[in-house]
Structure 1
Amino acid sequence: MSRHDFAVEEFAGRRARVRRAMAEKELDWLVLFHPVSIRWLTGSDAKSYQEFQCLLVPAGDGPLAMMAREGERAEILDDALVDRLETFGGNENEDPLPRFARLADEFGLLAGRVGVEVPAYYLHPHHHIAIRDFFGSAFVEATNLVHDLSLVKSPAELGYVRQAAAIADEALTVFGAALRPGRSELEIAGEVYGALLARGSGLAASPINLVSGERSCYSHGAPTERRLQPGDYGSIEYGATFRRYTATLGRQFCLGEPTARMRELYEIVRRACDACIAEIRDGAPATAPHEAARRVIGEAGLEHGRVHTSGYGLAPGFPPSWGEPMHMIGGSGYTLRAGMVVSVEPPVFLHDERLGARIIDNVLVTRDGCELLSRRSRDLIVI
């Protein structure tokens, strides 16, 4: 990812939208820590998020200043649209907070209201406390300001999402061919990773979930040395990326003829997915698709197995997540808008039965409904 992946005009439009949102909230400055937010405004793909990095955005037309570790200086200068770069550390350890305080003082942040992102990752609690104390009454939490603006994707962004979805589809063919008794979950996952990388995908922000046999009741189980056996039921979920834009795909499989209960769980989940998709359209509350899926699962007496969200927005992901703050779940305050890309994945996982089922697809929200991005069959894969 770099500033070269989008036209300068697209970055300018994003910055203008952020500044309008800042004006609505009467913010003089915005301090961003989430790498997705920083990337959306600058194009930076640097790994400085592993330590301390931030972007200072003024409410007016002033310069954007970025702070990052010294090791990423060259990459940021080449690939990011920033007007000022301040680095710390390098070949010796350095506390970044004094450098941040000097930069904030130089730009006069303490003279106004400062919106600050407080992400679940990427900002150490000690740094958060120090920054909050530094700004004092000027501190205003603005965690989702940029994220909410980036939910609706531009035509260029959607082009990258479609390329990621096409790669994910191709990897599913490789997965199906790799399924056979005697092979370990790790061996199969390795073939999927190889297929993704060979077809132009980067490494997705979250690792592959692959479970089989008695582990099929795990909703996010990583592949292990367990070797597949005849009669095994299981599931896979993985993400493909293009320019960090992620498309996810999840399917159920069985080695041999599935039992009646296996088929029943699969069919319930598929009906829940269909009900969810049928409610997705521009202007729909994010709770509506969720409630439709929930009804299907609840009527089957399996509400206790519905262990997570019915779906969420997909972002240009950085480890450990490709998800956006918009979830299709009870209590969500979001409204679906044309141009959003969301996953659909209402699940059923039953620990007591050692079984689970989840089908994962991505859809593009449109004015009249939604478009399924994967072109692959959603049928149970039976080997």
Structure 2
Amino acid sequence: MSKHDFSLEEFSSRRARVREAISQAGLDWFIAFHPVSIHWLTGSDAKSYQEFQCLLISADEGPVVVLTREGERNEFQDDAHVDQLWTFGGAEPEDPLQVFERVIRSLGLESARVGIEVPAYYLHPHHYLSIKSVLGAALVAEPSNLIHDLKLVKSATEQKYIREAAKINDRAMQVFANSLRAGVSELELAGDVYQTLLKAGSGLAASPINLVSGERAGFSHGPPTQRVLKQGETGSIEYGATFKRYTSTIGRHFCIGKPTSRVAEIYQIVREACDAFVAEVRAGVPAVVPHEAAKRIIAKAGLDRYRVHTSGYGLAPGFPPTWGEPMHLFGGSDYTLRAGMVVTVEPPIFIGEEFLGVRIIDNLLVTDQGAERLSQFSRDIIIVD
């Protein structure tokens, strides 16, 4: 994504909503560190999340300020909506927190009420401690999901981009199905998928492909290896496509030859759990409700302890290492589904001692009437002789 992917009016609306949220939180300023937050407010697609970066925005009208490494100066200036740009480093190392302190002083934040994001992957503990020291008593809150919660409902343009990513996913899955056979390696199959994704217009997704087979089929997030598939084996694949940074994901189960009765049994349970999940998705429903519906199906089969992760989550314009949003359709969630949200459905069963796992992954657009499945690819087991 860049500033050219959305209208100036859409960016202005996003900033206005963030300013209102800052004010409602009783804050004067908010400092964002998550690359998705910075991307959503500026259009920046830069890799500056690899080092220190932040965006500062006030509750009142004023400049949106970004601090990033000098290597990203040209990209931010040409490809992002930034009112004031500060940089550190360049030809020689520089402590970004020294520059951060100068930014804080220049904006007068030391006498304001400031909130910050504390993201899981993008803020080093030492930087966090230094930020707390620089801000001192001005730091009064850490509402890390302030921006993320505003972007859960996707605009018409965002939905358009996610739909395009879903179409690319379908094309790549068909290529995978056509390439699947005994004698081919997991990496060869992954290569065919990636080639199709890139040729079809996908960017590189935030999370790498999961592809497991044979004795690795019980791994829920295993990467492809040089392992060669054999007749009679089973496995699963999951990957994401992106269009202008907006992500769609898909996952399917496969067999080389006729599925065993046990594979067919587990697959049917997972599919019924997915159907129960989808049937509960609509605007106004607590996010925990679809999860509980899927959980009941798996628990009734006596397999609840093999339900190894969330039943679903919100999809973001992701940056490595994840495309997921804070909203999970899982136990304890306090979110409520709203029209325009895009969520995954993927209640799993992975049984390590049986070297077996099944997961069917699709994306749903939440509507007032129910759920619209974005992928058109068959949810049946992919079977090749």
Report the TM range for the smaller structure's normalisation.
over 0.9
CA distance in 1, matches of 2:258, 2:376: 25
1:238 aligned partner: 239
Q: Does 1:163 align with 2:171?
A: no
CA distance in 1, matches of 2:143, 2:337: 21
CA distance in 2, matches of 1:32, 1:47: 16
Q: How does 1:259-270 map to 2 (within 5 A)?
A: 259-270=260-271
TM-superposed CA distance for 1:235, in Å, is: 0.3
2:132 aligned partner: 132
For residues 5-44 of structure 1, what are the alpha-carbon distances to aligned partners after superposition, in whole Å with 9 as ceiling and x for unaligned? 0000000000110111111111100100001000101101
Q: How does 1:308-323 map to 2 (within 5 A)?
A: 308-323=309-324
Q: How does 1:198-237 map to 2 (within 5 A)?
A: 198-237=199-238
TM-superposed CA distance for 1:75, in Å, is: 0.5
CA distance in 1, matches of 2:16, 2:62: 12
3-state secondary structure, aligned to 1:264: helix
1:88 aligned partner: 88
Q: How does 1:281-360 map to 2 (within 5 A)?
A: 281-360=282-361
1:109 aligned partner: 109
Report how many residues are paired. Answer: 383
The one-letter amino acid of 1:354's match is: F
For residues 304-334 of structure 1, what are the alpha-carbon distances to aligned partners after superposition, in whole Å with 9 as ceiling and x for unaligned? 1000000000000100000000000000011
1:34 aligned partner: 34
| TM-score (norm. length: structure 2) | 0.99
CA distance in 1, matches of 2:279, 2:181: 35
3-state secondary structure, aligned to 1:206: coil
TM-superposed CA distance for 1:136, in Å, is: 2.1
TM-superposed CA distance for 1:59, in Å, is: 1.0
3-state secondary structure, aligned to 2:344: strand
CA distance in 2, matches of 1:294, 1:258: 24
CA distance in 2, matches of 1:137, 1:350: 50
Task: Structure 2: state its 5+ residue gaps.
Answer: none
Stretches of 4+ moved more than 2 A in 1?
Answer: none
1:120 aligned partner: 120
The one-letter amino acid of 1:237's match is: E
CA distance in 1, matches of 2:36, 2:7: 18
TM-superposed CA distance for 1:134, in Å, is: 1.7
The one-letter amino acid of 2:250's match is: L
1:47 aligned partner: 47
Q: How does 1:61-76 map to 2 (within 5 A)?
A: 61-76=61-76
TM-superposed CA distance for 1:110, in Å, is: 1.2
CA contact (8 A) 2:277 2:290 kept: yes
CA distance in 1, matches of 2:80, 2:114: 23
2:21 aligned partner: 21
CA distance in 1, matches of 2:190, 2:307: 26
| TM-score (norm. length: structure 1) | 0.99
Q: How does 1:247-258 map to 2 (within 5 A)?
A: 247-258=248-259
TM-superposed CA distance for 1:298, in Å, is: 0.1
Task: Structure 1: state its 5+ residue gaps.
Answer: none
CA distance in 1, matches of 2:230, 2:162: 35
TM-superposed CA distance for 1:302, in Å, is: 0.2
CA distance in 1, matches of 2:214, 2:138: 55
CA distance in 2, matches of 1:295, 1:241: 33
3-state secondary structure, aligned to 2:217: helix
For residues 355-381 of structure 1, what are the alpha-carbon distances to aligned partners after superposition, in whole Å with 9 as ceiling and x for unaligned? 010000000000011100001110011
3-state secondary structure, aligned to 1:57: strand
3-state secondary structure, aligned to 2:242: strand
3-state secondary structure, aligned to 1:129: helix
- Identity between Structure 1 and Structure 2 (%): 64
CA distance in 1, matches of 2:109, 2:47: 26
The one-letter amino acid of 2:20's match is: R
CA distance in 2, matches of 1:226, 1:93: 43
TM-superposed CA distance for 1:141, in Å, is: 0.3
TM-superposed CA distance for 1:91, in Å, is: 1.4
TM-superposed CA distance for 1:137, in Å, is: 2.5
The one-letter amino acid of 1:246's match is: T
CA distance in 2, matches of 1:2, 1:231: 46
CA distance in 2, matches of 1:373, 1:132: 43
The one-letter amino acid of 1:120's match is: A
CA contact (8 A) 2:277 2:291 kept: yes
